[in-house]
Amino acid sequence: MERKIDLKDIKIKDRFWSERQKLIKDVVIPYQEKILNDEIPDVEKSHALTNFRIAAKMEEGEFYGMVFQDSDAAKWLEGVAYALCVEADSALEARADKVIESIAKAQQPDGYLDTYFIIKEPEHKWQNLQECHELYCAGHMMEAGAAYYEATGKRTLLDVVERLADHIGSLFGPGKRSGIPGHQEIEIGLMRLYHTTGKEKYRELAQYFIDERGKDPDFFKKEAEQRGWKHFDMDPLDTKYNQSFLPVREQETAEGHSVRAVYMYTAMADIAAVTKEKALTEACERLWDNITRKRMYVTGGIGSTVDGEAFTIDYDLPNDSVYAETCAAIGLVFFARRMLNLSVDRKYGDVMERALYNGIISGMQMDGKRFFYVNPLEVNQGVSGKLYGYRHVVVPRPEWYACACCPPNVVRLLMSLGGYGWGEDADTVYSHLYLGGEASLGHGTVTVKSMFPYEGDVTYQIAPREGKETFAFAIRIPAYAKNVRITLNGREMNVDGGMKNGYFYLSRTWETGDKVRLAFDLPVRRIYANTAVRANAGCVCLMRGPFVYCFESIDNGSELSALRIPADAAIRTEVCEEGLLKGMPLLKLDGVRMHGSGELYFEERPNAEAVTLTAVPYFAWGNRSNGDMRVWMLEK
């Protein structure tokens, strides 16, 4: 069983993630706080924090926002908790305490907490689980309560969410009212409470909601008929949309709303790691394989269509009408990390890394003040954001959203990154990600000097807790790593001899000062898609290390569809020396631009003009201009 890691014991200090965590703490969290308080003009109104003050009778006013507006405040608070683990900030903590005070005052005597129904429709509590997301909001608040307690030791919000969980447990469960959330999240929140408090009743309630889903595929239909009113006019017969078409242990493919799906799979994997249940574990493994082998974008994005923000069918991965919601990629990372608890296997760590370095950080502008909901792999001026079927592909990144689930989700993931980079059990320390800095773990302290992701060079210096200790140190070796070299105190190790499921294990009695160095080459790789992926027929994608690369019109001119990459073109890596992308490795190659006659159709083969092409890391696109962009390029 994996040991719980205290985020305060993980300090990230490297050339990539430190900069982003500092940006989030210094810029993004205060910016989002102002938005949640409606203090920034000409930005989509939130009102989320004001709703709590109104529900607490601290202010006069009306509820404003989505029915699940509370979740934005909860995710922001969770992100604040992790920021306080990264670096103490008494002023930020004091402001968070004031928000928590309003939440505690808003909670009803029976433990109920949801500002929409407290302020606007108290007569409709718990009547519309499909559409109104009371359980979803509760789950996010539970995560925030546990995180804030672990960061500060303060129990106010933890006590609130325990009372909320107990209220929910008094209503739903075996021998009580039947119910499942329309949008999964309560299961993750309850498991978080279980891990924080050790109280089995929270795990049992989480498992109840997982076990109940799909037992009666007509549940939401019956609920709609019984209540006789609607909120969003969602179809209660679309059982694939909310994954209630079959019991979870019988599901074979990832279906429906992609965020709801991966949130549910995350909880399933978390429960399976605790209970050791074979059927639940096997279901997680099947669903993981279906996503990552047939329904995932090269960037780690998931969700192919705007219609339901959903998975579609195997190999349906359009680039220009893609959805690939930022929250969905974040949910995939949640799922991957829980799968690593079930089985330490490179396939989980590699996908976690892919999503982090591509489909998630692309969701935030480099200044921290604009955010993508949708993460396209192709953008065309005059089409994206304008034509029917492409209007959801909005460029540039908006400053905020009416449904603002993604911006605070990015904050809470990246500020808790240390928990994704490290793992530990009774016998082994695991390095899942190459995070520079220091990790103080049960077996000892590991100090890391990391040149990753721009170079494959990572050094670990180990200081056992008692000066000497026997345990295994396991390092994920990504599938793309070439010419892998590992040394222990300067002595070359037999890499192949220590590999298991993509991790290199070094078992010994460690002494203070022992050093392990991992080095590997990061050549540019040409990536090709399965021939069943129609959108990528004849195309190639370029990657280096964890980064997917893309081409923008600011570097390559307009009409990117006219460009071709020769199959034999040499690709050079050049570090950008100025501007917004300074310090990033860019790719340069000799390509061609095709020129036709100017007619709509013609018989002559287009002429090929030699041009120099430039590709940039996908996460950085759309920061210098709002022009065209492509990940997959036609190969000549």
What percent of the chain is predicted at pLDDT more than 90? 98
Any idea how long the chain is? 636
Q: How far, rounded to the nearest angstrom, does the alpha carbon of residue 353 sit from its chain's CA centroid?
A: 10
Least confident of 133-142, 393-402, 537-546, 621-630: 393-402
- The position carrying tokens 């939440």 is 103
| Residue of 33, 78, 187, 309 with catalytic role | 309
User: Residue 47 pLDDT > 90, yes or no?
Assistant: yes
Mean per-residue pLDDT, 418-437: 97
User: Residue 479 pLDDT > 80, yes or no?
Assistant: yes
pLDDT value at residue 629: 98
Mean per-residue pLDDT, 32-43: 95
The pairing of strands 539-544 and 633-634 is antiparallel
pLDDT value at residue 466: 87
* 323-345 burial: b if 16+ Cβ within 10 Å, else e: bbbbbbbbbbbbbbbbbbbbebb
For the chain, the domains span 8-218, 246-416, 423-521, 524-634
- Calpha distance 618→355 (Å, rounded): 11
pLDDT value at residue 140: 98
Q: For residue 282, count other CB atoms closer than 10 A to its CB.
A: 12
pLDDT tens digits, 146-155: 999 999 999 9
User: Residue 91 pLDDT > 80, yes or no?
Assistant: yes
Amino acid at 476: R
Query: What is the residue-averaged pLDDT of the chain?
Result: 97
Amino acid at 120: K
pTM over cut 0.85: yes
User: Residue 1 pLDDT > 90, yes or no?
Assistant: no
Using DSSP's 3-state secondary structure scheme, residue 416 falls into coil
Q: How far lies 220's CA from each of 51, 234, 242, 244, 274, in Å?
A: 28, 10, 10, 9, 30
Confidence at 2, pLDDT banded by 50, 70, 90: confident
Confidence at 422, pLDDT banded by 50, 70, 90: very high
The pairing of strands 503-511 and 499-500 is antiparallel
Whether 511 is catalytic is: no
Q: What tokens appear for 148 in the block? A: 């804030």
Amino acid at 69: Q
pLDDT value at residue 467: 86
What percent of the chain is predicted at pLDDT more than 70? 100
Q: Which one, of 569, 566, 564, 571, lies nearest residue 593 by Cα?
A: 564
pLDDT value at residue 562: 97
What is the helix (H) or strand (E) element at residue 524, kind and residue range?
A: strand 524-527
pLDDT tens digits, 480-518: 999 999 999 999 999 999 999 999 999 999 999 999 999
Q: What tokens appear for 436 in the block? A: 């520079």
| Residue of 85, 137, 327, 405 with catalytic role | 405
Whether 87 is catalytic is: no
CATH entry, 423-521, from 3.30.160, 3.30.70, 2.60.40, 1.10.10: 2.60.40
- Calpha distance 223→113 (Å, rounded): 21
Q: What tokens appear for 592 in the block? A: 């061609």
Mean per-residue pLDDT, 470-482: 98
pLDDT value at residue 325: 97
Mean per-residue pLDDT, 363-373: 94
Mean per-residue pLDDT, 287-313: 98
